[in-house]
Structure 1
Amino acid sequence: MRADGRRAGVSAGTIQRAFAGLKPNPRVLELDRFQPEGPGMTWEEYREKIVSATRVENGRRAFAESRRLLDAIETRFRVSPRVVAAIWGMETNYGTNTGGFGVIEALATLAYDGRRSAYFRSELLAALRVLDSGHISPGRMRGSWAGAMGQPQFMPSNFERLAVDFDGDGRRDIWDSRADALGSIAHYLSRHGWREGEPWGLEVLPPGPVERYDADNKRPLREWARLGFRRADGGPLPVSEVEMGLVQPNRSAGKVFLGGHNLRVIRRYNPPVNYGLAVGLLSDRVA
């Protein structure tokens, strides 16, 4: 990896500082191999845990504290500030839990392990380039056991492509700069096709069994209303031309949503459908 780093243009000094005293971390390997027993949480359990009253309350406070910043970010990237705040809350509890693993150590351990070596070698090289560019010091470059970094939990390759210097200090600091962290989340969503002004979706009550409807068939909201769908509280759907399709959470007791293009963009950040729906619900409640 030292030779690969030098070939990739990383300075010898950066490589020396990054790899000094490096050893495999057995806890990283343990977490990488961990597979939950059984089917896991139901959607209802997951929603109760993730979109909890505490997370909503913390989110409202963080949203209010960051309102001017989020407005500026919306002006630049044309992305919903409430969704930016919700992803921030989902990933790191509004920046309060960014992970305690050294990113270089974690990535080197996973690259050395062999199970997904090519992927983690690539991410390790990206992390070395981030260090070499002066955005963060090796000691401060901390994140998850898989190498996801900072308040947005970007992998190093995503950092290289999508992190932004929103506060204008010359560094893309997604660890300690709230402006850079939230701006980077918005840039990620923007680059993946966010449509300004469109809702992500909403929970609905179907008029009967949803199996009769083609889940891939997108219809305007007004058409879903004509078919008898209503809001989860029983109210009418918005009269809108925004196209949405049926979305059902995994392991759910019959809950049904309509999801639009922006829900698919949220799921580019993290693919599981339950994650995307939780971000959407949290975004509605924090703002």
Structure 2
Amino acid sequence: MPGPVRHALTALFLPALLFTSQASMAELPTMTDAAFAECKAGLQDKAVQAGVSADTASRVMADVSYLERVIELDRRQPEFTTTFADYLNRRVNESRISKGREMLAEHKDLLARVTRETGVPAPYLVAFWGLETNYGSYFGKMQVPSALTTLACDPRRTTFFTEQLIAALRIIDEGAIPAEQMEGSWAGAMGHVQFMPTVFLKHAVDADGDGRRDLWNSLPDAMMSAGKFLESMGWDGDYRWGREVLLPENFDFSQADGRRLPLAEWRKLGITDAFGNALAREPIEAALVVPSGHQGPAFLAYSNFRVIMGWNRSEFYAIAVGHLADRVAGAGGLQNPPPEDQPALSRDQIMQLQETLSAKGYSSGEPDGILGSNTRKAIRQYQKAEGLIADGFPSGQLLQALDIQAGS
């Protein structure tokens, strides 16, 4: 699935780690023309029952076609994990930073208006825009009604994609965009900020006053909609997303387990900002995030970090948004960049890691090839018992100790 935001989709598609380098797939299931026609008819009836006009439902569904490529992309199983260094370097690069600063200046009046109405600072709006569609340069080329119908007719997530299809038909019905122009990602994310149809219906706004909520052709509509969505999830305009921090020597990395502590408590543990200065004396809580383990950068994530993860449920993504926003606003790079030589693990290697840890008494549940919170907890328990730095990260040292060969 491409970079565009998934919103509700993230609960279905995004594991704790991101993957690249596609593995070979099993033969894809096929759907006969007759079966697809029957499914389309049923979906059309459901749309009308849900309030879509019969004319819109009939007209749009008549032009819908089965997109085998969508099923291929949906079923594709990635093979290797993406390291944090690779993820961040690909998404927060000099080109995107420079373009973001241009966009910040070019659209300063619009962005200032969005900030006034939603509380979301302009650099964050630009950062989301940059990560989602590279500042509007690529929205996706899939015909959304056809893509969503194809997915709704697939048995794996019929309910979810039926809901998205009906929402897309309602968007067409209200006149936001003609059906033939409704293009987006293979999973149905659309426009400058890649809203899913249900998110569009709930949070998209008409900010330019033309009577339409147009997230494809109206930047005011897109930016205000993004701001409203973030505001609805609890964006706190008084604080930033978080910050890079420095940890003291011999820091207990078991603290980086998602727990939220007041900044005063993190100060007592010896944590400073990235330049060695004392943390601000603010009455807020933060969680410590170490995406590359103890060898990489550390971040204190504030409440807005969780809001960003409400947009896309990936820590890597949330850090990228925050860091890109900082860079667009004029800040420099990370003081402690992530190491470039960390291993990329395959699903099979992660399953082997899970099985090996379980055999040693550190179970993370049923092996699934996903490096989630339970697996990190098991790693941390093993590391602590073996006198290793308990950061919950599958480092080369850990893999060597467990006789698991790292990927490349």
Shorter-chain TM-score category?
over 0.9
Answer yes or no: is 1:27 the counterpart of 2:69: yes
Which residue is 1:147 aligned to?
188
Correspondence 1:271 to 2:284:
no
* Residue aligning to 1:167: 208
CA 1:83–1:100 in structure 2 vs 1: closer, same or farther (change >3 Å)? same
Q: Which residue of 1 aligns with 2:104?
A: 63
Cα deviations across residues 17-37 of structure 1 (Å, max 9, x unaligned)?
Answer: 312332211111111011211
Which letter maps to 2:55? G
The one of 209, 227, 232 aligned to 2:274: 232
Distance 2:182 2:294 in 1: 38
Alpha-carbon offset, residue 251 of structure 1: 7.1
Distance 2:179 2:62 in 1: 10
**197-206 or 207-216, larger mean C-alpha shift:** 207-216
Q: Name the residue aligned to 2:46.
A: 4
**CA shift at 1:212, angstroms?**
4.5
CA separation of 1:214/1:49 partners in 2, compared to 1, >3 Å: closer, same or farther? Answer: closer
RMSD between aligned alpha carbons? 1.7
Does the CA contact (< 8 Å) of 2:253 and 2:294 recur in 1? no
Instruction: Pick the aligned partner of 1:127 from 143, 162, 168.
Output: 168
**Structure-2 change in CA distance of 1:236 and 1:142 (3 Å):** same
Counterpart residue identity of residue 277, structure 1: I
Cα distance in 2 for residues equivalent to 1:221 and 1:80? 22
Cα contact 1:17–1:138 (8 A) shared by 2 = no
**Partners in 1 of 2:294 and 2:177 — Cα distance?**
42
Q: Which residue of 1 aligns with 2:236?
A: 195
Q: Which moved more, 1:211-220 or 1:27-36?
A: 211-220
Correspondence for 1:83 = 124
What is the match of residue 178 of structure 1?
A: 219
Residues 50 and 213 (structure 1), Cα distance of their counterparts in 2 relative to 1, 3 Å cut: same
Contact 1:91-1:151 at 8 Å conserved across structures: yes
Distance 1:148 1:284, change over 3 A: same
TM-score scaled to structure 1, two decimals?
0.94
1:152 CA displacement: 1.1
Displacement after TM superposition at 1:187 (Å): 0.4
Deviation readout 1:94-115 (Å, 9 max, x if unpaired): 1111111111011001011211
Cα pair distance change 1:101/1:210, threshold 3 Å: farther
Deviation at 1:248, TM superposition (A): 2.2
Distance 1:236 1:65 in 2: 36
Work out the CA distance in 2 between the residues paired with 1:118 and 1:217: 34
Which residue is equivalent to 2:113?
A: 72
Name the aligned partner's letter for residue 276 of structure 1. Answer: A
Residues 1:255 and 2:297 aligned together: yes
- Contact kept, 8 Å, 2:258 with 2:289, in 1: the verdict is no
2:261 maps to 219
Listed one character per residue, the Cα deviations across residues 115-171 of structure 1 (whole Å, up to 9, x for unaligned) are 111110111011111110111110111110000111111111001101111111111
Residue equivalent to 1:113: 154
Name the SS of the counterpart of 1:113 in structure 2. Answer: coil
String of CA shifts for 1:56-100, please: whole Å, max 9, x gaps: 111111111111101001111111221111111111111111111
Secondary structure of the residue aligned to 1:158 is helix
1:247-279 deviation per Cα after TM superposition (whole angstroms, max 9, x unaligned): 122678433110010100011000111100110
SS in 1 for 2:78: coil
Matched residues, number: 286
Unmatched segments (≥5 aa) in structure 1: none
Q: Distance in 1 between matches of 2:58 and 2:303?
A: 45
Query: Could you tell me the TM-score, scaled by structure 2's length?
Result: 0.67
> What is the SS of the residue equivalent to 2:245?
strand
Which amino acid in the other structure matches residue 66 of structure 2?
A: P
224-233 vs 23-32, greater mean Cα deviation = 224-233
Q: Is the 8 A contact 1:250 1:274 kept in 2?
A: no
- SS of the aligned residue for 2:52 comes to coil
Alpha-carbon distance in 2 for matches of 1:70, 1:11:
36
Asked whether the equivalents of residues 152 and 160 of structure 2 are also in contact (C-alpha less than 8 Å), the reply is yes
Whole-Å separation in 2 of the counterparts to 1:79 and 1:55: 20
SS in 1 for 2:179: coil
Question: Is contact 1:225–1:236 with CA below 8 Å preserved after alignment?
Answer: yes
Tell me the distance in 1 between the aligned counterparts of 2:77 and 2:197. Answer: 24
Shift of residue 232 of structure 1?
2.7
Q: Aligned partners of 2:88 and 2:321: how far apart in 1?
A: 10
**Structure 1 residues 129 and 250, CA gap change in structure 2 (3 angstroms):** farther
